Amino acid sequence: MFFIGTTMLPISILITAWFEKRRGFAMSTVTIAAGLGGLVFNPLIQSIITEYSWQRADMLIAALVAIMAPITWLMVRATPAQKGMLPYGYEEKKGEKGEKDEEKKEEPPATGLTLKEARKTPHFYILLFASFSCTFVAGAMMQLAPFLRDIGYEPMFAAQMVSLLALLSMFGRPIMGVIYDRFKGTTAACIFFITAAMAFLSLTQAANIWFLRAGIALWAFNSGISLIMPPLWTAALFGKKDFAAIVSLTVLINRFGSMTGGYLIGFLYDIRGDNALIWPVCSALMILSMFGIVYSLRKMTGRKDIFAAAA
């Protein structure tokens, strides 16, 4: 119940509130830090379970969380205004318009739609579908190792490919953030969704080692799409006025996609006896999501009635 409240949700809210510039890079960097945490703590926890017991391991985890709680309470603030500051990049953004120095110090009230208003638009449900799809296909990639064994690769080689994917993903995520900050909006969305679709189409020919390598490289570049992009799209579509309420539903559907992706793909495998249909389904979801997000961004971005202050 509380895992999302200590991970994706506060990360999304804090990054959106504290960054006007380089928001994509900030979001991607945080996801890298989370991955490094897993890299460090997973073997540590496993060794404690092996040497002592799972009870000792749980006590260590609880102690770490208990230590972080007061540190977070003392250091973290929901908005820059609570620290007498402005979001990163805001002064530079205002300075480009030639405002006086004293005007730069005041951040305008947040603009955008409330949750009630957002739910009346088709773009809200398009966003939820795209968020679900991104984590659904990420769940499908959990089947990569058994898929490679099924088509004739050695188990050790399959495990190495999964490890390679995890390693390359650490470099792919900041690249995603940089591309989002550079191109934003529809161009960045097209880059991410098209390359993700190409990754899954490459895996349909994974018996050829070059197609397999291409699929792994392309998905490593896009592996952060399920964590990085939904909060960024939420802010781009509906602003910051009621961001916490809207992104909480986005993250909820996002996690639901992650939870169901592995199960449904496994169920599909049980019915068919192979993974031949998995990758085309994932590719189709990426293309459908791309059209939906691009359509919504074009309709919502720059609307004067929503982003008047920002404009």
What lies within 8 Å, CB to CB, of 19 at 6+ separation is 26, 87, 88, 89
Q: How far apart are CA 39 and CA 23, in angstroms?
A: 25
Residue 103 has which token pair?
């005007």
* pLDDT tens profile 133-191: 988 888 788 778 888 888 888 888 888 888 788 788 888 888 888 888 888 788 889 99
Domain span(s) for CATH 1.20.1250.20 in the chain:
115-300
**What are the Cα distances from residue 261, in Å, to 195, 202, 237?**
20, 20, 26
Count the residues in the chain.
Answer: 311
Average pLDDT, the chain: 81
Residue 156 pairs in a beta bridge with none
Q: 243 by DSSP, 3-state: which? A: helix
- Alpha carbon of residue 135 to chain centroid: 8
Neighbours of 60 (CB within 10 A): 15
Residue 239 pairs in a beta bridge with 112
Residue 8 has which token pair?
């994706």
Please, which pLDDT band fits residue 41 given cuts at 50, 70 and 90?
A: confident
* pLDDT tens profile 241-250: 888 888 888 8
State the architecture of 115-300 in CATH terms.
Up-down Bundle (1.20)
